[in-house]
Structure 1
Amino acid sequence: MDAEGVLAGLDPEQRAVAEAVRGPVCVLAGAGTGKTRAITHRIAYATLTGIVAPQQVLAVTFTTRAAGELRGRLRQLGAPGVQARTFHAAALRQLSYFWPKVVGGDPPKIIESKLPVVADAARSVGLSLGRTELRDVASEIEWAKVTQRRPEDYAAAVKTTGRKPPADVTDIAHVYAVYEQLRRERNLLDFEGMLELTVAVLLEHPEVARQVHDQYRYFVVDEFQDVNPLQRLLLDTWLGGRKELCVVGDPNQTIYSFTGATPSYLLDFPQAFPDAKVIKLVRDYRSTPQVVRLANTVIGLGRGPGTGGETARRHRLELTAQREDGPEPVYNEYDDEVAEADDVARRCRKLIDEGVPAREIAVLFRINAQSETYEQALSAAGVPYVLRGAERFFERPEVREAVIRLRAATRGTDAETEGMGLIQKVRHVLLGAGFTNDPPEGAGAARARWESLAALAQLAEDMAADNPAADLPDFVTELEERAAAQHAPPLEGVTLASLHAAKGLEWDAVFLVGLVEGTLPIIYAETPDQAEEERRLFYVGITRAREHLGLSWALARSPGGPRFRRPSRFLEGVTTKVTTHTPARADRTKRRTAKSGPQPCRVCGRPLTAPVERKLGRCEDCPAAFNEDLLLRLKEWRTETAADQKIPAYVVFTDATLQAIAERDPATLEELAQIPGVGKVKLDKYGEAVLSLCGGG
């Protein structure tokens, strides 16, 4: 791709970013406005026009996944030599390279977790801390280190910042001091120490600084509103007084102040660099006008980031929707959390039946403890789900086995795969790892294993669609790069995630749940600034939705409990369209019993428990009268339809749904619509074709 080709297709503001090839540049980019597109095209345009060599560019972001995405996009744009890393990865690379030259001896061992050393430090000062308390103290030590507070300064810093420590400040300061002592004695280095040591090496060894400054002359920092003082110190050291810096961020998405991050570096960028060019991206390509309107209203009712002063108000971004109209956000109030979770699960099931893939639906909550109720509700509704932040995808045994098999397949020859395309080759290999075209019914380990392999198969389909010439070695390379970047493919299940974990992601449908005072804002958000950060967290949740958005809250924690909860203050001035969606008490009791299976088998009358049984309307081992030829015809039709539409067969209809159709042999669309698994979208899309195969055709 040439330089002019890189600029093609950008909107006016994105193009302004791409053409601003000389720093300093500050890009204020709202949610869904294409900031990654803008900055990658800027880097590519600068390298293709000869402004800077690719190897002299350092693009910094906050997650390995985001860094991997940057590298992938830059490769496609013709700038494969650009370094895109996290702050920690870049620092570790430099530290590892220069350590033997300027320090010598064994380098410190990088520790993934502070907990073991914090536990030893706590015991040495006479404290007995549980695992949760240890995590809290470790987080407090991290905050102190990134904000450059030493143990002797910690108590004063807590007082001046209004921070609420998880334990006695004197105890935490003692643990912090001993932690640092033990870490040095054991030659260990935590992530904060890694950044500090990199800064020290650069400042104390001019020859190292010269080499780094010569290597990297062009800097881009994404998510600049999340930079903390220690990261800013390292960035300044890398810059060495130069101005070739482009920063990108959204003050409306500042949600990590509790970790030491501050939006002041983004908001005050024009003061730090008076000749900086400031460009705003406000065209929202992600969400419908209805979602964007709500997001603008919610953030507009707040005071803005930081102090809420004139600087914050001046930099506030009001999004402009670019998509066509969609449904209005839906607000629901429930008697209790269980009723809320049950109805959200029902609505997820309905969306899936209407054709929305499960992986394009998310349920977002403020704290992880809210997850369990939704896991139970989704399981009872037969809806697959994925917990974000659980086991890493590429570390799952079935995924490791599949990658090994795929890698081996690139080295050998297989007569069976001769002439096959990428999709068929990948599926052929995955069949050997236990993959099937249709998922096992129900939840559990077998379903989780299948979904992992299905995600790899789907990734191959996506890759083949983007690059028809791609072959198995290209796919394996993609998997290896994704594994290194922890960039997992989407799993076929509804995502359950905290609002913090959802940042940077998006779905077709989002349910924001538990919107009550004490949860959002969280109960310990006591100061105005802390409450405003909770508002921004709410805003982040809203802007994850492309089209469907549900907002809900419950007046009691458990069924029959006191209904003393109040809806979140962030809903005030937003809507009066609230639907009280909890059934009457008698109906509630009946519906709860339904979880354990009140639907009787139409053959023997036994209560049905498994989702597949409820779909069939009978026990799996009860005799059923159905036309085997019809079931065979339905499966053949499904295979052909899935191939034509390039989707997995189960997305058309599951085996259980086809069997239910064959057993009931519907004669009209109305009868077909009564079968579980046949929603309105599928009825419109496939109804006539199915009836043509049945007795009603």
Structure 2
Amino acid sequence: LEQNYRSTEAILDVANSVIRRNKGRHPKRLWTEQKTGDKPTLYYVQDERDEVERVAQILKADRRFDNSAVLYRTNAQSQAFETGFKRLGIPYKVVGALQFFDREEVKDGLSLLYLLSNSRDEVSFRRIINKPARSIGPAAIEKILAYGREAEGNLLTMLTMACERGALSPKVADGVRPLVTAFEEAHRLLEEGRLVDLTTHLLTESGLLAYYEGEDKKNGTFRVQNLAQLVNAIGQVEQSLDGFLAFLEQLALDRTTLADHDPREEAGVTLITMHNTKGLEFDRVFVVGMEQGLFPGRNGTHEDDLEEERRTFYVALTRAKRELYLLSAKRRMLWGKISLQEPSVFLDEIEAGLLSIIGEPSQGAKAWGGWDERPRARVGWGSGGGNLIQQGFGKDAKAFTMKTVHHLPKAGTPLFPVGQRVYNDRYGEGEVVSSRQRADGEKVIEVNFFGGKRATYVEKFADLEKIES
């Protein structure tokens, strides 16, 4: 029973070094007659986009897609790989779950965004007008639509008219007014290019976030994670009206392209959660998201929970037959804001010398806040909200900020003055073009990169290097 006919010795050595730490396990050591094989590789990558691109680089080197798998702890993590693989032309299939943008809660969230971009979108309007329940039946909807000609087809205007003119009962009117107000504020945020803020605002003020929190609590599901990842996806696009519209247009194009076939029936890289892999095997396995708070999750602090997570990791490792890669990101998005990451404790449990290590772990990072942490209210501060605004947030935010302060220059001395040339790993060289102070006292700078990208940073968290002239 201890002989493994699947994995190489190098892979089993890693798996054995991890699982032997479980105290409640009968001691046994898997062995194999397959003595050849390279050491598994651990990559420390910059962020989730770099994580996808590193996996894609390895896959495209020999184009052996069919017997390769990307394993992650949560279904929400599939979004970055689905989007990235589409962009890079890598075939894939999501196993054990719907594709990210086909999930009910994601489609609900997108309906809010579609209606914001096109106030005549009746399909999206009907999807979200009574979700969560606002006591709006078919008759009330028809009363709202009766104002169509006068409102020139604008569904949000129709809704306002129906409330103001007494077409709806007081109970129904009270239920829909917050939705009208939410869209009014979202329009303002869209004009300012604050896409992350407008998305979290709509999800929160529409009641959709609270609705799915209740569903998760009642059913033991994790749908809020997917809403968080939708916000992250918005955070990856250009933070402008053009970027917003391009994002929605690309989604519509992708759905049209995929309408005639089921990608799960095609050959390609398997995207799957670790929990769904028991009994499966692949020549090449990528285990991604190896960071505290993500894997093991936030609940993995109690010894019993940690042992269960460790067993899951062991199963994931032993799915690999020939090649095994582990990836840990230095920073990762949560509700559209960037969090510095702490490498998974499981990486420390692997014996020295068993892994080939490429890159360096992040320094001074903190454990990830977790998918279920509520987004902070951001309406009203600054013009941030882009994917490059780096915030300390969650229950450890104050401690994180205080740890960072001692690295700063003396008070009053700007880290990156206007006119300073800078370098960023993703966007290359650029120049600081403006600097301002937010209401909370944080200094925010804006950088024009010479490749055409314009980005905003909280100065003390900016991932920039000075270029001295």
Give TM-score, length-normalised by structure 1.
0.28
Return the structure number with greater helix share: 1
Give TM-score, length-normalised by structure 2.
0.41
Return the structure number with greater strand share: 2
Which structure is larger by alpha-carbon Rg, 1 or 2? Answer: 1
> Comparing both chains, which one has the higher relative contact order based on Cα–Cα distances under 8 Å and sequence gaps of 6 or more?
2
